[in-house]
């Protein structure tokens, strides 16, 4: 495993917010802020010339919002930095759009330093950036406002076995692997295997995208 610090880019139109994040992040021995941008357009340009591992992305910004900036960054390179949306629950609809655009997850702006740091480390390691239950609470507020998906659950989920569907439903409801194992009477290792197969079959990147899909297809309803 590389000893190189996690390289971070901060994107927010408020300089004081960026300064506050930088102070916390640069104090960590395993993190370093390698760049800042005041809007989405500047962020896309910065990512193109500055190697980074994680981008902390605000949503509402001038010139180019965080949703479109996220879409451009993730589309430019599948091996590029993972984008984490910074938000408050007042901006739920934008966060859902950003997750669909390729964001790896979200963090609340008023999260404490410990939660912020743990989230960054989690997403850098390839995991969901927040607890599934937090993702579920956000989507429960957003999904009722979304139009019905054009594709039915049968069309989008036809590749899954019945057990894999059950696991996907459980993930969509915000259960942890241990909780899924207890609910479905499975070993936790078996749950992890099912999740890996779901991600592979449906070409999903991570657990966050599993939750999004479960709600989009109405497999899980608030």
| Better-scored residue on pLDDT, 195 or 217 | 195
- Contacts of residues 143-147 at CB distance under 8 Å and 24 or more positions apart, as own/partner, are 143/96, 143/215, 143/221, 143/222, 144/222, 145/93, 146/96, 146/216
Query: Would you say the C-alpha torsion 148, 149, 151, 154 has a positive or negative sign?
Result: negative
pLDDT of residue 101: 82
pLDDT band per the 50, 70, 90 thresholds, residue 1: very low
Per-residue tokens: 132: 């599934």
Mean pLDDT of 35-40: 96
pLDDT at 114 over 80: yes
Longest dimension (CA), the chain: 51
Token look-up 């956000």 returns 138
Query: Would you say the C-alpha torsion 59, 209, 170, 125 has a positive or negative sign?
Result: negative
CA-based nearest residue to 191, from 209, 210, 216: 210
Instruction: Write the pLDDT tens digit of every residue in 134-153.
Output: 666 666 666 665 555 555 55
pLDDT at 92 over 90: no
- Quote the percentage of the chain above a pLDDT of 90: 45
Mean pLDDT of 120-129: 79
CA atoms within 13 A on the CB side of 203: 3
What is the average pLDDT score of the chain?
Answer: 84
Instruction: Write the pLDDT tens digit of every residue in 171-180.
Output: 888 788 888 9
pLDDT band per the 50, 70, 90 thresholds, residue 109: confident
pLDDT band per the 50, 70, 90 thresholds, residue 129: low
pLDDT band per the 50, 70, 90 thresholds, residue 207: confident
């Amino acid at each position: 495993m590389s000893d190189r610090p996690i390289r971070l880019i901060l994107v927010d139109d408020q300089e004081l917010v960026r300064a506050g994040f930088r102070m916390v992040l640069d104090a960590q021995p395993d993190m370093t802020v390698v760049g800042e941008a005041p809007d989405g357009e500047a962020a896309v340009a910065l990512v193109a010339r500055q190697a980074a591992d994680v981008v902390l992305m605000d949503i509402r910004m001038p010139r180019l919002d965080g949703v479109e900036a996220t879409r451009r960054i993730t589309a430019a390179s599948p091996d590029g930095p993972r984008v984490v949306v910074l938000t408050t629950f007042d901006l739920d609809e934008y966060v859902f759009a950003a997750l669909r655009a390729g964001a790896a997850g979200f963090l609340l702006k008023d999260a404490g330093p410990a939660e912020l740091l743990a989230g960054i480390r989690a997403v850098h390691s390839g995991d969901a950036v927040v607890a599934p239950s937090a993702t579920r609470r956000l989507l429960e507020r957003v999904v009722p406002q979304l139009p019905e998906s054009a594709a039915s659950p049968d069309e989008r989920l036809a590749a899954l076995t019945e057990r894999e569907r059950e696991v996907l439903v459980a993930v969509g409801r915000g259960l942890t692997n241990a909780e899924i194992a207890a609910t479905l009477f499975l070993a936790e290792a078996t749950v992890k295997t099912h999740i890996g197969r779901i991600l592979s079959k449906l070409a999903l990147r991570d657990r966050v995208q599993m939750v999004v899909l479960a709600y989009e297809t109405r497999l899980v309803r608030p």
